[in-house]
Amino acid sequence: MSPLLAVLDGESLASPPIWLMRQAGRYLPEYRELRAKAGSFLDLCFSPDLATEVTLQPIRRFGFDAAILFSDILVIPKALGRDVRFVEGEGPRLDPIDAAGIVEVLARSRETGAVVNDLGVVIETVRRVRAALAPETALIGFCGAPWTVATYMIAGRGTSDQAPSRRFGLADPDSFARLIEALVIASTDYLVAQLEAGADAVQIFDSWAGVLSPSSFANWSLGPAARIAAGVRARVPGARIIGFPKGADRALSAYAAAMEANAIGLDWTVDLETIRRETQNRVALQGNLDPMALVTGGAALDAGIDSILAAMEGARHIFNLGHGIVPETPIAHVEQLVRRIRG
């Protein structure tokens, strides 16, 4: 069995499995070459040939224990009928959604097979990647969490504190609840399709969970994640699911319990001793190296790795970053990380 799947299923390994968020991306010259040929970022995501190659690039170079599907969290709003585009040097742009638009996307989410049919090329990428990977290398699928995806749909772009979405949820909670429900339905269908196509596990990325108040976190982050997990397992019994509510900190244990997560992702601000004590090995812990330690390399990187390994000794642990690799990360530092952990 894949080391990563063994940990997700309850084992503690002397050498933790390794994968890194955004491990396929701009820090790799082979990625940049393909990206230049693709035309646009979405063209890259929606080409099974190219997306398969990008997904496999870091596996060939570093021998990670898992590949993660190369795609984007905003393919869901696109499948729900919203205009999604990526502006070079600026990031994603959407037409901000209003209450009437929310009614439309909720109706779209309820059309049987509509979202998965629109994302058929992504599901084909999953099939191709799984066929190309060795049995011991796991394949992770993913989606963006409803709250995080909603922040882009409401603001039309990323913002520093997600104030537009927080304000929308307070001013029109009924419309906001309908948007979250549409995203729960669509995300459940999408994850089920990935698992049925060959993904061994799926991760729910809630990159903006940390900006929510406790009550909003319960309503818009924890609750929707739990509904997605239950919906997925109702259709794929035993599905392995990783939750990553970045910035949730003191709510991590409750989040993991609510969705019955196989693993919970930890950002670099989380105290490992505390979360290990709270979870008592009921869930695997994934993370939590500061991406800047990977950029820095050398003694600082070694110290960060050693500290995590010492804190997680004997635990169900998956080595990962506390967020994604940044583009300026030197390849030599990733090689250093793999040697240090496995050495």
Look at residue 91 and tell me whether its pLDDT is greater than 90: no
Condensed to tens digits (0 to 9), the pLDDT of residues 180-207 reads 999 999 999 999 999 999 999 999 999 9
Beta bridge partners, 139, equal 67
What confidence score (pLDDT) does residue 88 get?
81
What torsion, rounded to 10 degrees, do the Cα atoms 294, 35, 192, 11 define? Answer: -30
- Tell me which DSSP letter residue 123 carries: H
pLDDT exceeds 90 at position 289: yes
CATH number of 3-342: 3.20.20.210
Provide the CB-side half-sphere exposure for 5 (13 A, CA).
15
* Residue 38 near residue 50 (C-beta atoms within 8 A): yes
What is the C-alpha end-to-end distance of the chain, expressed in Å?
A: 21
Average pLDDT, the chain: 96
What is the DSSP pairing of strand 91-94 with strand 84-87?
A: antiparallel
Q: pLDDT value at position 89? A: 78
Spacing of C-alpha 78 from chain mean position? 18
Please identify every residue annotated as catalytic. 22, 26, 35, 72, 152
Question: Which residues lie below 8 Å from residue 279, measured CB to CB, with a gap of 6+?
Answer: 252, 253, 256, 264, 285
β-bridge partners, 68 = 140
Query: Would you state the pLDDT for residue 178?
Result: 98
Would you give the DSSP letter of residue 221? I
How many percent of the chain have pLDDT more than 70? Answer: 100
The pLDDT of residue 194? 98
Residue 90 pLDDT level (bands cut at 50, 70, 90): confident
CA angle 74, 77, 79 (to 5 degrees): 105
How many whole angstroms separate alpha carbon 37 and alpha carbon 339?
A: 32
Q: Is the pLDDT of residue 160 over 90?
A: no
The full set of domain ranges for the chain reads: 3-342
- Provide the residue type at 150 as one letter: A
Distance (Å, whole) CA 231 – CA 225: 10
Section 155-174 average pLDDT: 94
Find the range with the poorest average confidence among 88-92, 135-139, 185-189.
88-92
Asked if the model's pLDDT at residue 39 lies above 90, the reply is: no
> Can you tell me the mean pLDDT for 170-181?
97
pLDDT tens digits, one per residue of 218-239: 999 999 999 999 999 999 999 9
